[in-house]
Structure 1
Amino acid sequence: MVISAAATVEGNNGDVRHVVPTEGQPPAGGAVPPMRTQTTEPAAEPVAAAPVAVAPVEAAWTPPSWDEVVREHADRVYRLAYRLSGNQHDAEDLTQETFIRVFRSLASYKPGTFEGWLHRITTNLFLDMARRRSRLRMEGLPEDTDRLVGDDPSPEQVYSDTHLDPDLQSALDELPPEFRAAVVLCDVEGLSYDEIGATLGVKLGTVRSRIHRGRQALRASLERRAELARKDVG
């Protein structure tokens, strides 16, 4: 019969040893068979896990109130609307419609360039208005349908308020709506080509082309007006 037994002893140096008998028959006379030992190394100290960097939690964006939006941006939106439309009545309508759109979308607005968002809404509303009127004129309405005489302040008064020369505004009014929007956003509002492209939803090459052609037409109109003014003086 093969006897398998094990014992645990402690060595002089404190190591724990498992004592295992050798295989085979025990010697006659019941003598204790020779033993072999297995040394178990002390367990290594657990390594502490490196601390994990936790990104700071950004505070949730709180949309401004209606009063704050109007108070901070109404003047700028109106100036842009006036420079695009060329008259007070349309500028007021565009401004009102812009803030209605803002009010409806403010809760779902993703934080970004708020002024750029307002530029985009105002400009797109103007272009929509211009296209609607273009279709109406194609149906036979007179050209001056949208320019009825009223009791509004004179263009000179409003131009003075918006710091835009009357001749320049009149020349802008002669441009096609797409060219006018590109020139106003670039040369009056100071937007970059990339910002204008995002506002109008067109490629950079289209932005450059519209600005270039719009400036050419604007320059020709201003030169023509200057020539007429010189003749009137003479």
Structure 2
Amino acid sequence: MGTVMDTTSPLPTADHLASDAGRADGLWQPPTWEQIVRDNSDRVFRLAYRLTGNRADAEDLTQEVFVRVFRSLNSYSPGTFEGWLHRITTNLFLDGQRRKKRIRFDALGPAAERVPASGESGSPERRFEHDHLDSDIQAALDGMKPQYRAAVVLCDIEGLSYEEIAAVLDVSMGTVRSRIHRGRAQLRKALAHRAPSPRAGESAPVLRPEGAL
């Protein structure tokens, strides 16, 4: 995997990519595969890591995403390019989870997957993990069902709206709300040990649904 770049800048939209790639006779020209990899590899890797929970699988998923992009680029129509990448990454992850379930895939425990190999601790990927990931949160995400994990990651980490998540996952808004609600409930339960204990005379805080008064 190449050097993991800064992840604070937004992904380019189709309009930005059109400007980068140039226009011929007023028609949108698709960017090259090299441009897409250069500009988006860090973002795709970050989402892949949040979904898979370990570096090796994230690298594999990232490579698979760009192979799919390469194969599909000529058929891509101008639109929200970042949404297209989110959809490819998330659907490839969910497809992979379904395949593993069908063949009764048995992986080593997540702790074993995260043990760095000799000389690995200084790699860009390991620095990215150590600098940006909370181990308790990632462990809680790992424990979720894949469909709940994908919804929570897209909403609470990637910042997508419910409408965007529904488009990425090709499900109804009601399904998105249900998955996020259940995923957040599992996340709160898994992280309950980190919640501060109420002081004497104080009652524990009440968790309210989003938007509730």
TM-fit CA distance, 1:160: 2.7
Instruction: Give the counterpart of 1:79 among 42, 46, 52.
Output: 46
Instruction: Give the counterpart of 1:135 among 102, 107, 124.
Output: 102
| Corresponding letter in the other structure for 1:211 | I
Distance 1:158 1:133, change over 3 A: farther
- Residue in structure 1 matched with residue 117 of structure 2 by the alignment: 151
| Corresponding letter in the other structure for 2:117 | D
TM-fit CA distance, 1:159: 2.2
TM-fit CA distance, 1:150: 6.5
Q: CA RMSD in A?
A: 2.4
**Distance in 2 between residues matched to 1:103 and 1:218, nearest whole Å:** 35
Instruction: Give the counterpart of 2:88 among 104, 108, 121.
Output: 121
TM-fit CA distance, 1:156: 6.9
- Residue in structure 2 matched with residue 89 of structure 1 by the alignment: 56
Structure with greater strand share of residues: 1
**Distance in 2 between residues matched to 1:170 and 1:76, nearest whole Å:** 21
TM-score between both structures, scaled by the size of structure 2? 0.71
Instruction: Give the counterpart of 1:189 among 158, 162, 172.
Output: 158
The reply on whether 1:170 has 2:136 as its aligned counterpart is no
TM-fit CA distance, 1:173: 0.4
**Distance in 1 between residues matched to 2:137 and 2:88, nearest whole Å:** 24
> Larger RCO: Structure 1 or Structure 2 (Cα < 8 Å, ≥ 6 residues apart)?
2
The reply on whether 1:220 has 2:184 as its aligned counterpart is no
- Residue in structure 2 matched with residue 104 of structure 1 by the alignment: 71
TM-fit CA distance, 1:157: 4.2
TM-fit CA distance, 1:145: 7.9
TM-fit CA distance, 1:126: 0.4
Aligned positions, number: 166
- Residue in structure 2 matched with residue 66 of structure 1 by the alignment: 33
TM-score between both structures, scaled by the size of structure 1? 0.65
Correspondence 1:43-54 to 2 at 5 A: none
**Distance in 2 between residues matched to 1:131 and 1:76, nearest whole Å:** 24
Distance 1:71 1:181, change over 3 A: same
- Residue in structure 2 matched with residue 200 of structure 1 by the alignment: 169
Report Cα offsets for 1:8-62 as digits up to 9, x if no partner: xxxxxxxxxxxxxxxxxxxxxxxxxxxxxxxxxxxxxxxxxxxxxxxxxx82110
| Corresponding letter in the other structure for 2:78 | P
- Residue in structure 1 matched with residue 201 of structure 2 by the alignment: none
- Secondary structure at the counterpart of residue 68 of structure 1: helix
| Corresponding letter in the other structure for 1:206 | T
Report Cα offsets for 1:39-90 as digits up to 9, x if no partner: xxxxxxxxxxxxxxxxxxx821101011110111100000000000000111
Structure with greater helix share of residues: 2
Structure 2: 5+ residue stretches without partners: 1-24, 196-213
Report Cα offsets for 1:163-222 as digits up to 9, x if no partner: 221111111000000000000000000000000000001000000000000000001001
